[in-house]
């Protein structure tokens, strides 16, 4: 049975990037201990989530006028990459939390912003309740918010609900009685809300995802925000995808760090290398070339990730229009292409470099590939290549949704 520990309140407020990075490194150091066992046993670490909130990391992107850290998405990307290098499941849990903060700022009324963001500054976490597994595609919405006897009632079922199990509020995407998409910020313990711990993916096994059932849940008007409209320029997709890319970069970084340790201390040189006088696997010239290539690819991916984050931060300080939001989305798409590739390659090459013994369960090295393969399926890179090419060649702006 899963023990749920709510956020510690009040939380700290981090107003300097260096303080946020320090807290992220401290949390990552704790997360490394037991990461293999948590993955293998599908065991949660709610104490790490409580520390995430208490440290102030959860409110770094909340503007200072609401009491938050007022830091940019460059810092958000950095802290999620650092945490994900130690445990990408822990890094993924708050991915929607940060994306939803952006939506609150973009679509919430002044009163809603004050209430929701103040709660986040106090240490509350937001969980996802958007996608549904029985719809035709990830954008189709079957959940309904309808008036019943003068009250709003919410019904439906959600899946891929990252972080919902440990959230203070679960944010549900639904259609209202006008068939207009809305986002409903409901307390997780509201009557009629059931969060089922049934995520069974081969990777990212402890992201607190799974099913959210909504049975006649009472909703107040203040809990309802309009969903970002598709016909208006927005940074929703760029922010969401930047966070995804940061997690993938962290997976690649963690895989290469573990690869270095395993090659140095646990692997044997190949027989042909031994006959050539090489006594350590770490001195195999072909392996060295491989490691060099992957580190170069990671450096390139990190450079594009940092560039994309700076562009998102810059655009976020300007009046949004079709041109600058498209530029931000394309910059993030370019980074996502490389972070996806290097996460998959590094996590696979790790096993090749380590040899057969690297596949032994006690080492838990397979988790890197399972995590990379699972998380990078969030959105297909083939469509990002298309969007990038269409933008540069034909001047066509990318689609406006959370996956580009």
Q: Please, which residues bridge with residue 219 across strands?
A: 152
CATH code, 92? 1.10.540.10
Closest listed residue to residue 359, CA positions, set 374, 344, 369: 369
Answer whether residue 4 shows pLDDT above 80.
no
Residue 206 placed within a domain: yes
pLDDT tens digits, 120-179: 999 999 999 988 888 888 888 999 999 999 999 999 999 999 999 999 999 999 999 999
**Quick check: 3 pLDDT over 50?**
no
Distance (Å, whole) CA 96 – CA 311 = 20
From CA 2, how far away is CA 21, in angstroms rounded?
30
Average pLDDT value for residue range 76-81: 98
**pLDDT tens for each residue of 243-260:** 999 999 999 999 999 999
CATH number at 204 reads 2.40.110.10
Residues 6+ apart with CB under 8 A from 11: 53, 54, 55, 56, 58, 59, 121, 122, 123
Give 347-364 pLDDT, tens digit per residue: 999 999 999 999 999 999
Number of domains in the chain: 3
Whether residue 179 sits in one domain with residue 270: no
d(C-alpha 217, C-alpha 7), whole Å: 23
Domain containing residue 173? 144-226
**244 and 373 assigned to the same domain:** yes
Name residue, tokens 């948590």: 38
- Is the N-terminal amide bond of 10 cis, ω within 30° of 0? yes
- CA–CA gap between residue 111 and residue 338 (Å, rounded): 40
One domain, residues 390 and 325: yes
What pLDDT, on a 0 to 100 scale, did the predictor assign at position 8? 44
| pLDDT computed for residue 88 by the predictor | 98
Residues sharing a CB contact under 8 Å with residue 400, sequence separation 6 or more, in sequence order = 228, 230, 231, 232, 233, 234, 236, 237, 325
Average pLDDT over residues 68-77: 98
Of the chain, the percentage scoring pLDDT greater than 90 comes to 91
Domain CATH for 339: 1.20.140.10
Residue 326 lies in a domain: yes
Q: What is the pLDDT of residue 137?
A: 85
What is the mean pLDDT of the segment spanning 300-310? 98
Clarify whether residues 172 and 96 are in a common domain.
no
pLDDT on residue 2? 44
């Amino acid at each position: 049975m899963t023990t749920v520990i709510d956020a510690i309140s009040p939380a700290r407020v981090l107003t300097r990037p260096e303080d946020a990075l320090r807290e992220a490194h401290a949390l990552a150091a704790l997360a490394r201990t037991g990461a293999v066992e948590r993955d293998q046993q599908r065991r949660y670490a709610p104490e790490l989530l409580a520390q995430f909130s208490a440290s102030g990391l959860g409110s770094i992107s909340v503007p200072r006028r609401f009491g938050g850290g007022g830091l940019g998405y460059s810092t958000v990307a950095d802290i999620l990459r650092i945490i994900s290098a130690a445990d990408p499941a822990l890094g993924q849990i708050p991915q929607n939390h940060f994306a939803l903060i952006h939506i609150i700022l973009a679509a919430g009324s002044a009163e809603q912003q004050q209430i929701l963001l103040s709660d986040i500054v106090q240490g509350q976490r937001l969980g996802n309740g958007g996608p549904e597994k029985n719809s035709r595609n990830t954008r189709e919405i079957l959940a309904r918010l309808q008036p019943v006897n003068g009250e709003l009632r919410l019904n439906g079922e959600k899946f891929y609900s990252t972080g919902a199990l440990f959230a203070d509020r679960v944010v549900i995407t639904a259609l209202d009685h006008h068939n207009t998409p809305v986002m409903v910020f409901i307390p997780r313990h509201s009557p009629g809300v059931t969060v089922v711990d049934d995520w069974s993916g081969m990777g990212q096994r402890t992201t607190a995802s799974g099913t959210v059932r909504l049975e006649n849940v009472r909703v107040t008007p203040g809990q309802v925000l309009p969903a970002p409209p598709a016909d208006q320029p927005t940074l929703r997709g760029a922010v969401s995808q930047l966070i995804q890319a940061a997690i993938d970069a962290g997976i690649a970084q963690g895989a290469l760090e573990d690869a270095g340790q395993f090659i140095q201390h646990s692997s044997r040189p190949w027989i042909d290398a031994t006959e050539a006088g090489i006594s350590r696997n770490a001195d195999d010239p072909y392996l060295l070339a491989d490691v060099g290539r992957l580190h170069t690819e990671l450096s390139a991916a990190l450079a594009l990730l940092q560039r994309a984050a700076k562009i998102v931060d810059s655009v976020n300080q300007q009046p949004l229009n079709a041109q600058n939001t498209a530029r931000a989305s394309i910059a993030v798409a370019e980074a996502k292409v490389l972070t996806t590739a290097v996460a998959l390659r590094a996590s696979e090459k790790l096993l090749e470099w380590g040899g057969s013994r690297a596949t032994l369960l006690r080492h838990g090295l397979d988790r890197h590939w399972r995590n990379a393969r699972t998380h990078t399926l969030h959105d297909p890179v083939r469509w990002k290549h298309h969007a990038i090419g269409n933008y540069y060649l034909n001047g066509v702006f990318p689609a406006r949704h959370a996956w580009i």
